[in-house]
Amino acid sequence: MIAWLDPHDPFPPVDRALGPDSEAPGLLAASADLSPQRLLIAYRQGIFPWYAQGQPVLWWSTDPRMVLRPEDFRVSTTFRKTLRRVLDNPAWEIRIDHAFRETMVDCATTTRPGQHGTWITEDVIHAYTALHRRGYAHSVESWYAGERVGGLYGVSLGRMFYGESMFARRTDASKIALAALCAFLGGQGVAMIDCQQETEHLASLGAAPVPRAAFLAHVREAANAPAIVPWYFDKSVLRRWTTRNEQA
């Protein structure tokens, strides 16, 4: 049985999340509240929302937790060549927070194999847009010839970044945005990007699971570090990957 949270109720301890033998490993609590303040409290405690249309807001703390260390972002020989072409071609741009809400909408409407519907409902878009206005949520967007062709969004607290979703309308467009994000965050002293749940796609990008206890210990320190200011970069950060030793 999980806890129901009224608007001013604190989250229960994360060790009360449902265990690996349950139907919903990592499920911690439910609520009707998805306010910006509730979201900030959740992220600082290593908790994230994920639910389907028509469900209450479901709050999770998975064990293990999937994370991507920026320096572990996987750049193949082929993708390194792609990044060089992006750097050389002025039609390609990386824009930050240029179209935050639209990026969320594109993440919500992108068709994904094995996925029916989306958890990025209008209520979710409204809540994260409010976080964006307060400077906590950001989009990293890949633009080609004046068109937004891919991107991602997430939440930045201190020196911690919580990735939420990506989309692409052109081959590798979301991966290019992620490459730029990892290059920027690595240079800002961010050691870990929260990817939440383990998937083969995330593993192919270099993400790996870590025990929840280790993840939470890192979050407690990183999320309370000084914020990244200014939160801005362009495609020039991709040079971090084009000059490194090649990976298979």
The architecture (CATH level 2) of 66-242 comes to 3-Layer(aba) Sandwich (3.40)
Mean residue pLDDT across the chain: 95
Question: Where do the CATH 3.30.70.3550 domains begin and end in the chain?
Answer: 3-62
Q: How far apart are CA 35 and CA 40, in angstroms?
A: 9
Q: Which residues contact 187 (CB under 8 A, 6 or more apart)?
A: 237, 240
In tens, the pLDDT along 203-221 reads 999 999 999 999 999 999 9
Assigned CATH class of 3-62: alpha beta
In tens, the pLDDT along 154-175 reads 999 999 999 999 999 999 999 9
Question: Where do the CATH 3.40.630.70 domains begin and end in the chain?
Answer: 66-242
- pLDDT value at residue 247: 46
Is the pTM higher than 0.85? yes
Q: Is the distance from CB of 97 to CB of 139 less than 8 angstroms? A: yes
- Cis amide leading into 230 (omega within 30): yes
- pLDDT value at residue 11: 99
- pLDDT value at residue 146: 98
Stretch 81-104: mean pLDDT: 99
In tens, the pLDDT along 32-87 reads 999 999 999 999 999 999 999 899 999 999 999 999 999 999 999 999 999 999 99
